Structure 1
């Protein structure tokens, strides 16, 4: 039953993405080449947030954008760890900003917060599931998820031990850092990663279709007046 649920969860955005691509092919045949390209990449970006976390470990060696809605803290062994947005992507870097690996936490689609435990584990909290996942610095699971609670009205971005309580363990005092530097590959992947950018691309495609000039199809003769 669980495998069926995951399959349905994956098939739904794939089908919708194929619908967008079908429309993009129609735009291409109608002579709106740039609008078609923007539609294809916009669809990839919009549904990428649903598909990427379900790819398992395939994306572990790939650096994804870590400059939208990202929080970064210092980790053990002269490393730093970033947590990006509602997709809950954790990425490990050297202190000079060199990417090492990344993985997805299971936040149920809600926002997340990152911190450290006194054992040197990476802790990722989901404000939706009210659970904290625990990882070794290389991304492998360190312990089963545990419930947590926090004081105050604002959802935490960093797991400060004075404000967040975890059942059966103690959080370490984290050091918040600047986000990793912008690298070429993550910059190119922004349209596949941030839904807002994807909507902008699809919106630009619609404007081009409405106000742009259509490129005549190859082999078409001059239009009669």
Structure 2
């Protein structure tokens, strides 16, 4: 994260000292930071223009929580990468953030090096470095260059994590990926810890791709193993 790759960052945290410290740090590196302390202002800012990444505190005091903001951004079909900032160090809270549409999270207190690493990871996924080329399996087509997915020629909007997970599954139709393999495909070797994150993203993919998500025909569960994409 150097000035040569300047980012437009939306920072949402009601902890003013932390907000100001992060803003100074990112601006010294040449990035542009829009720093706000509440969810309503964050949603207004995201409505006005696009950002490269959103750093979003979970607990925002009065008004929408960070989870609410993430859900509202996703309901607007905004696919900007979202990293949750949370003081809640539990698997349930991590899963709740992913359920809301976040791509990753860091637990407070965190170091700047860790936060920068997480930002680089979600941006690598956004730039399409995990799966190369275009893939078509049955009615689903994944276009890496355009970062576009279509289902029977109809566009499907996915978050960055969902896109990378789908690309991994489609790269080897019929192969049963275990959850750790899928975690590495999304988060790399620095990966995130809770295998249930994969289950959350799989459920979201099924809701977006499957005619009947409760009876999936594309993304199949392999008992005791993980998941596979159907063979063409």
TM-score (structure 1 length as normaliser): 0.30
Greater Rg by CA: 1
Higher strand content, 1 or 2: 1
TM-score (structure 2 length as normaliser): 0.30
Higher helix content, 1 or 2: 2
